[in-house]
Structure 1
């Protein structure tokens, strides 16, 4: 059995994770931006490892994210207790309708919009990162960028602490492969209207390197 697989969206995130893993036997791969490409690429890596007789023992989706104001600070570290496909559903005059409420047969929903983190893996990460904020991490295909959409998203998910673009896709790939999953994020900016002056990319990458030591 091979070790831990850590997938990020972009090479810069992978480099930050590797910087915190000196000497550790961990595979770190940038797999692309968005839930579809991240899920497909992760599924392929897991399938190839299993076919070679060297399956991974766990998968972690890692990278930077936006944080909900008042729930986690910019520069903070987040561990997902579950990853949620926040925009998988339908709009209506009455508001957003989650996909599970659209009358589709359960077998078409796979694991549903919500994939919980593996309790054992999450517990180990919480022990190694006691200052991390634990809560729901939302996966979106369109990054939230207005005050109105931020308020609506926060109201629908009162336990959400961050939003990113890959976690749910990676979580589904891991679930289909029967491999434990967790999501680790560091916060580069507040969720809300796009304001590049409020982004703290350097601090988020530094925090990601520090948090990556927990993946040893």
Structure 2
């Protein structure tokens, strides 16, 4: 389902934006950031990279967009991305696409095919980070959420710039790339990456931070154009 945001901060002369979240709660949190006359569409694309890629590609096939954003809550690597903070990806990297070997994990690119990283427009990332106060770094896409300290340590060893992990960014980025459209990923941190402790999750706070962050993004998006 596509949620047409009826109340938006973007003017009709602005670029057209597709925001892909995983679940309706995230979709609604993003939608609350916008008021009248919007050119922003927000979809709940489903959980995981495959669902996100399929739903995003379907949406892109029907409407011309200038920018795609993967958005939602995420786990944050501590202490760099504390609970409640915002993260904007300067690289969107899939962390578990490849092969296990006796010497450890090998990404698919080292096997001789595929891609594992998409890079959002650097100037836009910089300007949005300045407007929102978000941290910038790598956001990892995983198909299995990290639940142990050992797994968190392994991911940080392979991706020392990682600030957060989520499950959809790379799928959204693949769909955007297939259509030749730039992509962003913006995440609000709801829990630490590591041992799975539901009592430490702050989903409501993260959703509120997501709404606030998108509200601050709007003026930057109004003035931005992809060269």
TM-score (norm. length: structure 1) = 0.91
Whether the 8 Å CA contact 1:121–1:180 is kept in 2: the answer is: no
Quote the Cα distance in structure 1 between the aligned partners of 2:127 and 2:54.
27
Aligned to 2:126: 123
For the aligned residues, what is the CA RMSD? 1.3
Aligned to 2:45: 31
Secondary structure of the residue aligned to 1:152 is helix
How much does 1:147 deviate? 1.2
Aligned to 2:168: 166
Secondary structure of the residue aligned to 1:203 is helix
How many residues are aligned here? 204
Quote the Cα distance in structure 2 between the aligned partners of 1:188 and 1:202.
8
Aligned to 2:116: 113
Quote the Cα distance in structure 2 between the aligned partners of 1:44 and 1:205.
26
Whether the 8 Å CA contact 1:135–1:161 is kept in 2: the answer is: yes
Structure 2: runs of 5+ lacking an equivalent: 1-13, 219-227
Structure 1: runs of 5+ lacking an equivalent: 50-54
Whether the 8 Å CA contact 1:121–1:181 is kept in 2: the answer is: no
Q: Indicate which of 74, 79, 84 corresponds to 1:75.
A: 84
How much does 1:214 deviate? 3.0
How much does 1:22 deviate? 2.0
Q: Which has the higher contact order (CA 8 A, sep 6+)?
A: 1
Secondary structure of the residue aligned to 1:42 is helix
Q: Indicate which of 5, 20, 42 corresponds to 2:33.
A: 20
Whether the 8 Å CA contact 2:15–2:67 is kept in 1: the answer is: no
Q: Does 1:46 align with 2:60?
A: yes
How much does 1:133 deviate? 0.5
> Deviation string for 1:84-113 (max 9, x for gaps)?
010001111211111111134xxxx1xx10
> Deviation string for 1:6-56 (max 9, x for gaps)?
11000000100111112243111111110011011101111111xxxxx11
Secondary structure of the residue aligned to 2:137 is strand
Quote the Cα distance in structure 2 between the aligned partners of 1:120 and 1:155.
28
Whether the 8 Å CA contact 2:17–2:68 is kept in 1: the answer is: yes
